[in-house]
Amino acid sequence: MTTQEELYQAKNTYKYGFSTVVETDSLPKGLNEETIRAISEKKQEPSFMLDFRLKAYKKWLESKEPHWLHGSYPAIDYQDISYYSAPKNKPALNNLSEVDPEILKTFEKLGIPLDEQKRLANVAVDMVFDSVSIGTTFKKKLEDAGVVLCSISEAVQKYPDLIKKYLGTVVPIGDNYFATLNSAVFTDGSFVYVPKGVHCPMELSTYFRINDKETGQFERTLIIAEEGSYVSYLEGCTAPSYDKNQLHAAVVELIALDNAEIKYSTVQNWYSGNPDTGLGGIYNFVTKRGVCRGYRSKISWTQVEVGAAITWKYPSCILQGDHSVGEFYSVALTNGKMQADTGTKMIHVGKNTSSTIISKGISADKSHNTYRGLVKIAKNATGARNYTQCDSMLVGDQCTANTFPYIEVSNATSQVEHEASTSKLNEEQLFYLSSRGISEEDAISLIVNGFCKKVIKELPLEFAVEAQKLLALKLENSVG
């Protein structure tokens, strides 16, 4: 580790702030039709993909950057971003041994060992480094079960019919400014396909890493769960500490058919910028949406958001199938000068659909934390039900927390409940625990994890412990 990195660590306690030196193959900065053709060509895409991209690009040119977020960000210079960056020694698919050792070391440092012996038990991982997928573990075991976990680039080549059938059906090309941009320039991401009746034998996971300084990350994830299938998927994200803002505009689409269940968990720990000056950090402008297309289908979002300079996202569920279920469990922690505007949308279309929203916001230092949510019950959604609980915790007296719940009900037989609370992590709670011999560090961890318990328990076990530690670590310097 260089002194520079140590400095960052001392200052930010962001232990993923290092960068890796690798030879890259990247496109020059700037965005025009040529850029899009070049991306498509580099990925040797079929023509339908190029059409998809170009159509999106045209829509994007016509749309305007939105600024309704509760907070602010300077206008982004889209010509100052490189839209493609890939390590030069990209391995042949399926062969991790050919990966640049520097990159393997990077993932090792991030706690994601790819080494056969050291792999996370029972978790298959796909690694995305800047614009491309580096490799996927446990391919064989998944294949035996008939489950597909691969990069979306590979899926475009291998499963064009599925891509054609589903890509852009949940988040349409022109959905919103950033999703439109993503549709034009997305470079990689994960693809999951679980066939009919298959209960995926292991947790699936993608680890996103932004390494390059000038690159935006535009990943695209598509998960399809066929009738009666089940899959649990987790994504993790980190980036080096640069003093320049970087754009991350991802799109995630989930499709659950009859009696299928998708559980999607996120632990987001992008670099959040310098806590004192607010310089640098990731703009995390992400569109995530799932559709419960089938009867009794279920989609469950769990997110632990502790990083990024600005987070702006609403993982949502369209409950189309009768008796379908949508869930949203969220912990959003902001400190330093972070801004988060996050929540969910539950759109009840089918009969007897139900949704649960549990949101826990923790704001510290000079940060802003906003929950924004929509519960919409359509006219024909008889017997629909929603339960929402939004709790905010304030640490210190310079931060803010807001809750904007929108409820639109067009059906008299539905039932919508909303609960909200705001509390303070206060000196008295800390004093109480420390007077019982518990160190300040452990006391903060106890209080915060108690506050977030309902959400943390939804995470896969391997990650729940990590998430708990992360929350405590993030708050260590904000209390006292």
Partner 1 sequence: MIEIKNLHAEISGKPILKGFNLTVAAGEIHAIMGPNGAGKSTLAKILAGHPSYEITEGEIWFKGQNILEMEPDERAHIGIFMSFQYPVEIPGVNNVEFLRASYNSLKKARGEQEVTPEEFALILEEKMKQMEIKPEFKSRNLNEGFSGGEKKRNEILQMALLNPSLAILDETDSGLDIDAMKIVAQGVNCVMNSDLGLILITHYQRLLDYIKPHYVHVMVDGKIVQSGDASLALTLEERGYDWLMQTTHEDV
Whole-angstrom distance, CA of residue 33 vs CA of residue 359 = 40
Does position 476 interact with partner 1 (CB under 8 A)? The reply is: no
Q: In sequence order, what are the residues at sequence separation of 6 or more whose Cβ sits closer than 8 angstroms to the Cβ of residue 460?
A: 123, 203, 232, 234, 265
Q: Which stretch binds partner 1 (CB under 8 A): 3-11, 123-131, 178-186, 437-445?
A: 437-445
Does position 97 interact with partner 1 (CB under 8 A)? The reply is: no
Q: Which stretch binds partner 1 (CB under 8 A): 13-21, 111-119, 194-202, 421-429?
A: 421-429
Does position 380 interact with partner 1 (CB under 8 A)? The reply is: no
Closest approach, Cβ 451 to partner 1, in A, equals 5
Among the listed residues 5, 108, 440, 476, the single contact to partner 1 using CB under 8 A: 440
Closest approach, Cβ 6 to partner 1, in A, equals 28
Q: Which stretch binds partner 1 (CB under 8 A): 145-153, 272-280, 317-325, 432-440?
A: 432-440
Q: How far is CA 312 from CA 252, 401, 402, 460, 472, in A?
A: 14, 15, 14, 24, 23
Whole-angstrom distance, CA of residue 230 vs CA of residue 252 = 18
Whole-angstrom distance, CA of residue 267 vs CA of residue 111 = 13
- For 159, what's the count of Cα atoms within 13 Å in the CB-facing half-sphere? 21
Q: Which stretch binds partner 1 (CB under 8 A): 4-12, 47-55, 185-193, 426-434?
A: 426-434
In terms of CB distance, is 260 or 433 closer to partner 1?
433
CA neighbor of 150 nearest in space, from 390, 416, 162, 209: 162
Does position 454 interact with partner 1 (CB under 8 A)? The reply is: yes
Closest approach, Cβ 464 to partner 1, in A, equals 14
Whether the Cβ atoms of residue 109 and residue 83 lie closer than 8 Å to each other: no
423 three-state secondary structure: strand
Does position 403 interact with partner 1 (CB under 8 A)? The reply is: no
Q: In sequence order, what are the residues at sequence separation of 6 or more whose Cβ sits closer than 8 angstroms to the Cβ of residue 43?
A: 49, 153, 156, 187
Among the listed residues 223, 364, 378, 447, the single contact to partner 1 using CB under 8 A: 447
Closest approach, Cβ 452 to partner 1, in A, equals 7
In terms of CB distance, is 204 or 447 closer to partner 1?
447
Does position 397 interact with partner 1 (CB under 8 A)? The reply is: no
Whole-angstrom distance, CA of residue 283 vs CA of residue 249 = 8
Does position 449 interact with partner 1 (CB under 8 A)? The reply is: yes
Closest approach, Cβ 113 to partner 1, in A, equals 29
What count of other Cβ atoms lies within 10 Å of the Cβ of residue 379? 10
Total site size for partner 1, rule CB under 8 A: 23
Does position 422 interact with partner 1 (CB under 8 A)? The reply is: no
CA neighbor of 310 nearest in space, from 479, 76, 136: 76
Task: Return residues touching partner 1 (CB under 8 A).
Answer: 423, 427-429, 431-440, 442, 446-447, 449-454
